[in-house]
């Protein structure tokens, strides 16, 4: 028993050490990449993209299910985007609230006999509407298949542009975000097949008429911790993985894809729990199978602001669902693991996702248990126990502070000294106790997945967290 506890504790220490060293390496790569990107931005002339007749058109796909609170504001903001040719396709996925009525009232929709060919099989589209006021706005009213992926697929079918951009209905894109994200594609259109932008937390900011007027930090602890978490995930994780063409996920809230490729892989998998992660892994698989030289990129300055859960139960549901999605996708693509054909995807990113993302809550739980057990049984030195926890905490906090540094160096969305100070202070709480909470929620996700509960738990939207705060 003692021997087991010793081995377990040492293994856990090595696990933490390797995890943190990988994160440190990712931080260093991200700092380098962000700096390069900042230099590139200085030479980039968005006006050139906006005014060029060669800039490809984009179809924005907005899946909406019971988004009555935010759909009108969200569509308004999309219609005002600064991009030469944008088609906005809202897919009402059998909402039971007044989503459809709100759209009909505010955008003067009229039924339009547009030819719709279901190149990707979806639940039936009941009607297609076009707006009198905004001819570039199309609304598909469809029956529900019980998943967001099906709604996006219907949007892909209806899209008429070579690129489609998937945006969450509760999100607000910055005006120049499409020009910025397309800069990543038109710099190498033959290789770049998909690009993700950064998703930031809208809670607490001031929004007027569907436009973000002033960026502010949210007020509650839970929202603040998510701000830090998002900064770390996007500015460090995604930026660094994308540098090696190993981006495992493009957020479902904001990503742009080549439509022809989506059609070839059959669109988003309707029965996937985490459809965004699943799509990217399947894209990697398809392009490797075909031997295509490709790049799936992440660009950190095109920004999408989204409302994050503001209460613990919503956040718990969201995280459990994310983890179920992760497990579901990893399980369905387990045949890609350690296969030469899938190169770095099969040898690096998928094993990383298994070990350090999917199984980490289990390993952490095991670790905490054995350490406590060893401490109780007197096998573990109390000094070592405390040091071990401190080490894990301090190293992980270093990465979080690093992500605030990246934000501060390159993007500076939080302008005041006070806000930066708050960001730094909340870095201290991301790894204790917030991480332990997320561990529990993720364990719940694993449990639900193993029980076969793959249902989509709706996250409560207040629609009011975007108002001014003092």
Does 331 bind another protein (CB under 8 A)? Our answer is no
Position among 113, 124, 209, 470 found at the interface with another protein (CB under 8 A) = 113
Query: Does the protein bind another protein through residue 408 (CB under 8 A)?
Result: yes
Q: Which of 166, 169, 453 is nearest to 325 (CA)?
A: 453
Query: Shortest approach of another protein to residue 338 CB, angstroms?
Result: 30
Segment near another protein (CB under 8 A), from 68-76, 107-115, 201-209, 306-314?
107-115
Helix axes of 360-377 and 382-406: crossing angle, nearest 10 degrees = 150
Residues 344 and 335: beta-carbon distance below 8 Å: no
CB of 372 to another protein, least distance (A): 18
For another protein, which is the closer residue by CB, 112 or 369?
Answer: 112
User: Is residue 186 part of the contact set for another protein (CB under 8 A)?
Assistant: yes
Nearer to another protein, 170 or 430 (CB): 430
Q: Which of 112, 369, 436, 458 binds another protein (CB under 8 A)?
A: 112
Does 135 contact another protein by CB under 8 A?
Answer: yes
User: What is the three-class DSSP state of 22?
Assistant: helix
Between 275-289 and 148-158, two packed helices, what is the crossing angle to 10 degrees?
60
Site for another protein, residues 45 to 104, rule: CB under 8 A? 45, 48, 52-55
Q: Two tokens at 330? A: 């990893």
C-alpha span between 86 and 134 (Å, rounded) = 11
Residue 112 CA from chain centroid, whole number: 33
The Cβ of residue 301 has, within 10 Å, a number of other Cβ atoms equal to 21
Residue 418 sits in the site that holds another protein (CB under 8 A)? no
Closer to another protein at the Cβ: 387 or 458?
387
d(CA 373, CA 414): 44
Of the residues 110, 213, 219, 341, which one makes contact with another protein according to CB under 8 A: 110
Size of site (CB under 8 A) for another protein: 48
Q: For another protein, give the closer residue by CB, 124 or 470.
A: 124
Half-sphere exposure of residue 87: CA atoms within 13 angstroms, side-chain side: 19
Subset of 146-165 contacting another protein (CB under 8 A): 160
- HEC secondary structure over 208-259: ECCEEEECCCCCCHHHHHHHHHHHHHHHHHHHHHHHCCCCCCCCCCEEEEEH
Please report the beta strands in 242-332, taking only residues with DSSP state E, as ranges in sequence order: 254-258, 295-306
- Compose the 193-212 pattern: x for residues touching another protein by CB under 8 A, - for all others: --------------------
- Interface ranges with another protein (CB under 8 A): 10, 13, 17, 39-40, 42-43, 45, 48, 52-55, 110-115, 117, 130, 132, 135, 160, 186-189, 381, 383-384, 387-388, 390-391, 394-395, 397-398, 401-402, 404-405, 408-409, 417, 420, 424
């Amino acid at each position: 028993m003692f021997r087991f506890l010793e081995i377990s504790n040492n293994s856990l220490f090595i696990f933490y050490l390797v995890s943190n060293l990988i994160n440190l390496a990712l931080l260093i790569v991200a700092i380098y990449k962000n700096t390069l990107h900042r230099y590139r931005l200085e030479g980039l002339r968005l006006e050139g993209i906006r005014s060029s007749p060669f800039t490809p058109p984009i179809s924005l796909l907005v899946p909406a299910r019971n988004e009555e609170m935010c759909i009108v504001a969200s569509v308004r903001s999309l219609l005002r985007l600064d991009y030469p040719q944008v088609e906005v396709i809202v897919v009402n996925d059998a909402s039971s609230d007044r989503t459809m009525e709100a759209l009909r009232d505010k955008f003067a929709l009229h039924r339009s006999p547009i030819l719709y060919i279901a190149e990707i099989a979806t639940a039936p589209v009941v009607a297609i509407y076009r707006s009198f006021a905004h001819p570039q706005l199309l609304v598909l009213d469809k029956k529900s298949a019980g998943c967001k992926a099906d709604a996006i697929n219907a949007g892909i079918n209806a899209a008429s542009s070579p690129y489609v951009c998937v945006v969450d209905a509760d999100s607000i894109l910055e005006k120049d975000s499409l020009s910025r994200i397309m800069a990543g594609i038109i710099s190498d259109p033959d290789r770049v097949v998909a690009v993700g932008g950064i998703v930031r937390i809208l809670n607490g900011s001031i929004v007027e008429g569907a436009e973000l007027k002033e960026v502010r930090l949210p007020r509650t602890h839970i929202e603040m911790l998510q701000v830090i978490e998002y900064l770390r995930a996007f500015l460090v994780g995604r930026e660094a993985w994308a540098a090696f063409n190993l981006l495992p996920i493009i957020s479902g809230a904001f990503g742009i894809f080549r439509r022809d490729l989506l059609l070839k892989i059959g669109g988003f998998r309707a029965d996937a729990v985490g459809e965004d992660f699943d799509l990217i892994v399947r894209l990697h698989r398809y392009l490797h199978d075909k031997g295509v030289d490709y790049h799936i990129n992440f660009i950190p300055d095109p920004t999408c602001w989204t409302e994050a859960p503001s209460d613990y139960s919503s956040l718990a549901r969201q995280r459990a669902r994310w983890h179920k999605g992760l497990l579901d996708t990893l399980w369905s693509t387990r045949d890609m693991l350690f296969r030469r054909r899938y190169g770095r995807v099969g040898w690096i990113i998928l094993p990383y996702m298994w070990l350090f993302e999917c199984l980490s809550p289990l390993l952490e739980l095991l670790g905490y248990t054995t350490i406590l057990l060893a401490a109780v049984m007197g096998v573990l030195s109390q000094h070592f126990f405390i040091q071990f926890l401190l080490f894990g905490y301090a190293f992980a906090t270093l990465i979080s502070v690093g992500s605030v540094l990246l934000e501060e160096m390159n993007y500076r969305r939080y302008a005041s000294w006070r806000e930066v100070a708050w960001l730094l202070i909340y870095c201290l709480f991301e790894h204790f106790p917030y991480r332990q909470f997320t561990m529990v929620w993720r364990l719940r996700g694993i449990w639900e997945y193993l029980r076969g509960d793959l249902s989509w738990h709706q996250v409560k939207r207040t629609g009011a967290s975007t108002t001014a705060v003092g």
